[in-house]
Amino acid sequence: MVAATQASHAHTDARQGARIDVRNVSHRFALRGEALAVLDDISLTVEPGEFVALLGPSGCGKSTLLRLVAGLDTPAHGALHANGEPIAGPDPSRVVVFQDPTLFPWRTVRDNVGLGPEAQRTGRDRASRDSAAARIDAALELVGLDRFADAFPHQLSGGMAQRAALARALVNDPQLLVLDEPFGKLDSLTRIRMQGELVRLWQAARFSVLLVTHDVEEALYVANRVIVLSERPARIVAEVRNDAPYPRHRDDPKLVALRRQVLAQLGLVA
């Protein structure tokens, strides 16, 4: 795994993660003939290589904002840019990992991870196939699934399935990893382990990360910066910078103080 991490680091040092700019974005949905406001004048920036967490109550609009950044939806008002270019649709440089790993049950782990290279491969020659296979092998080793490459999804634990989903994202060498509560369905012990794995992967490759979560501890454990959103329609109520060193410890007095601060901003403590 060390060799794969070093290889990934060497591969990605030549470029930075994506810079994401969200400017005055508002959004709404049509519901029973009426407009339901979801986002209200959101402006934020994700710097290249930064790990940003969007934190807020369930249903406040976090996932909607994530879909706009990923290019899966278009905002009703405002603008979004990636590296200075308008976000007009999905792009391989911005990869989404959802709460459900959505692995195809009839494909092995290797074949699931290889969906991206398979779709992008323009040639059928041996060099093209070998290049894709090498990328898949590196991604599997990076997430610790190289021994399970030939397993099927039903043979994986929840944490292993989510690692396969991460490998499927990383094999595309993304500049931005967009995470929609990726560990929300995992048991607490597996979730804690996966949070550490995510930080390790981010440190190895230095892509930018935008994570949606409603877990205060998770946000503070993994992110450089936490953006706190209000109830729907979501507005930014605070930005909390977190310069605690990695690896982080959950009982670190700095994290405990930040947790208290964030909970207060969410109106959950006096």
Say what the pLDDT of residue 5 is: 38
Say what the pLDDT of residue 172 is: 84
Strand order, beta sheet including 225-229: 94-97, 176-180, 208-213, 51-55, 225-229, 236-241
Res. 4 pLDDT band, cuts 50 70 90: very low
Check if CATH label 3.40.50.300 holds for domain 2-265.
Answer: yes
SS3 25: strand
**pTM, to two decimals:** 0.86
pLDDT in tens, 136-181: 998 898 888 999 999 999 999 999 999 999 999 988 889 999 999 9
Domain boundaries, the chain: 2-265
Name which of 6-20, 179-193, 206-220 the model is least confident about: 6-20
Mean pLDDT, rounded, of the chain: 88
More confident residue, 135 or 227: 227
Say what the pLDDT of residue 177 is: 95
Res. 246 pLDDT band, cuts 50 70 90: very high
pLDDT for residue 2 is more than 50: no
Say what the pLDDT of residue 127 is: 54
Nearest to 171 by CA among 108, 118, 127, 123: 118
Say what the pLDDT of residue 34 is: 81
Average pLDDT over residues 21-38: 89
Tokens representing 39 are 């986002």
Question: Which position has the token pair 């407009």?
Answer: 35
Q: Please, which residues bridge with residue 44 across strands? A: 22
pLDDT for residue 121 is more than 80: no
Q: Do 31 and 223 form a contact (C-beta atoms < 8 A)?
A: no
